[in-house]
Structure 1
Amino acid sequence: IIPDNKFQLIHRHLRPFDHTQIDETAPLPRVFQGIEEWSDHIQAVSMQLFRPGPHLAVDECIIRYTGNSDSITTIKGKPDPVGFKIWVIAQMGFYVKWLWHIKEDEYGDNDDALNSTQAVVVGLTKTLPKSTYHVFVDNLFSSTPLFRNLRKQGYEATGTARTNSGIHKELVRDKNDDGKAKRMYEFNAVKVNQMAWKDNKLVLFSFTVFTGADDERVIRQKKPSSKKSEAKPIRRFFWVTKLSK
């Protein structure tokens, strides 16, 4: 972070974009027009160096900015709540592709009655190389229509769900009456599985991936007490052989 006066002095002599090409009537805000060329270049080179694997995550991010701009977004609860919001699809902390958050942007076709936020997931997956992906999202995006859309494209999807995401009414009832959840539910969500998982609170999930191994259990041995011999480091013996001259 540098003082504004120093930044303005540098900005007079160094400009990363051609300000004469800014189109005030374009749907893309001018603040994003200035970095769009760099953004496209970075994403193109990244795809040459990094080919994403099957497991990807979609989320929202904030680029901190406290200046004056109509494109600024405030998200309470974030470490940096004020700035430019971007939608990213990432893997192991590497941003594979991203889209600028533009108010009232549809982010591509909207054939399954998706809202603008859910359509972001579809828009990001369409920028990836053709392959089979398993997309993980949080409850900001999850909905039954979205998961059907991804399934239709050949993509797997998993994510936590809100009570208004189109999830089954029995799950919603148990979510509202936390602590008295049933173990099994009898319903068919039409190619989108739904479940409830009891953590500290009841957590709702939607997913399109099912291995059939739902009854498998991983038995983990309890970690021994630090005072027991099993928990102590193994003794290692070292010796030095005297070398003859």
Structure 2
Amino acid sequence: QILSSGPKCGDQQVEGPNCIFNANPGLRLPSIADAMSVNRFDEIKRYLHFVDNNSPADGDKFFKVRPVLNVLEATFLAAVKPEEYNAVDEQIIPFKGKHSSKQYIPKKPKPWGFKVWVRAGTSGYMYRFELYQGASGGRGDVGELGMAAEVVVRLCSDIHNNGHKVFFDNYFCSMPLLEKLREYGIESTGTCRSNRLKGAQDKLMKFTDMKKKERGTSSVVSTSDNITVTRWLDRSIIHIASTCAGKSPEDLAKRWSKKESEVIQIARPFAVSFYNSHMGGVDLVD
């Protein structure tokens, strides 16, 4: 009950005992307020521990709450069968206190807090998560694929060889990551930075040539590893790398044209619409 009081007070945006012991029935938490005094509640919170503080942390900055985090993740996994389509992305848990793992992400609505790597389904259900601990954190293993790609591999370790498809943005995406996931029986699609295309960029239409074309122009190549790379001109040039999606079937996307001062339709490769349809699951978790 004490653990559950945190989320409840967070929902009400009222801090600590002011929420739990509030006279307002909509705020009050009877299971605690009727069983103990405010002083007793504070005393329990003060001495509540989940591990021995003297036990080795192995560099884990969250070792004091690691048992709770493990139980939460196991519960999320056991409650629902994973969906076919999953996305891996980052979230921020707002926090302005002092902690070495606190991050500042200026583009987020609440930029200060703990960064969390999340795997969620298209529905918005969160299956796996991992708290980022900074460059010196105990769970930031770089491995052969690099730190970001290894995050994806770890978060997808429970869905091997079950027909799942995973989506991620260009922070995570690389050709070796797509190859590694396919070894595990996982198809994947992601936006990819041009310097991570492992030679495929040399076979695509050149940047200078594509920028002279009309919006909706695309160029597609398949690598020797059967990864399809799509270069597409929208407002800017983007790249999609995929083991399961290419150019066809194309559809039409509506865009505002400054030149014509009206909404126009441009050709959009299947890989782009496929990615857009299934990448937003982590955002829905909020």
What band does the TM-score fall into relative to the shorter chain? Answer: 0.7 to 0.9
- Greater relative contact order: 1 or 2 (C-alpha under 8 angstroms, separation 6 or more)? 2
Percent identity between matched residues is 24
Query: Residues 176 and 80 (structure 1 numbering): CA distance in 2 closer, same or farther, change over 3 Å?
Result: farther
Report the alpha carbon displacement of residue 143 of structure 1 after superposing the two structures with TM.
0.5
Match of 2:66 among 36, 40, 45: 36
In structure 2, the residue matched to 1:230 is none
- Is the partner of 2:82 in helix, strand or coil? coil
- In 1, are the aligned partners of 2:95 and 2:102 still within 8 Å (CA)? yes
Match of 2:237 among 193, 202, 226: 202
Report the alpha carbon displacement of residue 80 of structure 1 after superposing the two structures with TM.
1.5
CA distance in 1, matches of 2:105, 2:99: 16
In structure 2, the residue matched to 1:70 is 100
Map 1:63-212 onto structure 2 (within 5 A). 63-91=93-121, 92-104=123-135, 105=138, 110=143, 113-128=144-159, 131-167=162-198, 168-170=200-202, 174-175=206-207, 179-180=211-212, 183-184=218-219, 188-210=223-245
Question: Matched residue pairs, number?
Answer: 215
Report the alpha carbon displacement of residue 198 of structure 1 after superposing the two structures with TM.
2.3
CA distance in 2, matches of 1:146, 1:176: 28
- In 1, are the aligned partners of 2:93 and 2:114 still within 8 Å (CA)? yes
Unaligned runs of 5+ in 2: 1-12, 20-37, 254-286
Report the alpha carbon displacement of residue 115 of structure 1 after superposing the two structures with TM.
1.0
- In 2, are the aligned partners of 1:108 and 1:123 still within 8 Å (CA)? no
TM-score by length of 1: 0.73
- In 2, are the aligned partners of 1:174 and 1:180 still within 8 Å (CA)? no
Q: Report the structure number with the largest CA radius of gyration.
A: 1
CA distance in 2, matches of 1:162, 1:180: 21
CA distance in 2, matches of 1:3, 1:47: 30
CA distance in 2, matches of 1:16, 1:176: 64
Query: Residues 185 and 89 (structure 1 numbering): CA distance in 2 closer, same or farther, change over 3 Å?
Result: closer
- In 2, are the aligned partners of 1:17 and 1:34 still within 8 Å (CA)? no
CA distance in 2, matches of 1:106, 1:20: 18
Moved over 6 A (4+): 4-9
Query: Residues 68 and 218 (structure 1 numbering): CA distance in 2 closer, same or farther, change over 3 Å?
Result: closer
Unaligned runs of 5+ in 1: 221-245
Query: Residues 205 and 189 (structure 1 numbering): CA distance in 2 closer, same or farther, change over 3 Å?
Result: farther
**Superimposed CA distance per residue, residues 164-193 of structure 1 (whole angstroms, 9 cap, x where no aligned partner):** 223523478744766236744556352221
Between 1:146-155 and 1:32-41, the stretch displaced more is: 32-41
**CA-atom RMSD in angstroms:** 3.4
Report the alpha carbon displacement of residue 81 of structure 1 after superposing the two structures with TM.
1.3
CA distance in 1, matches of 2:109, 2:239: 26
TM-score by length of 2: 0.63
CA distance in 1, matches of 2:128, 2:221: 39
- Is the partner of 2:230 in helix, strand or coil? strand
CA distance in 2, matches of 1:202, 1:193: 16
**Counterpart check, 1:18 vs 2:49:** yes
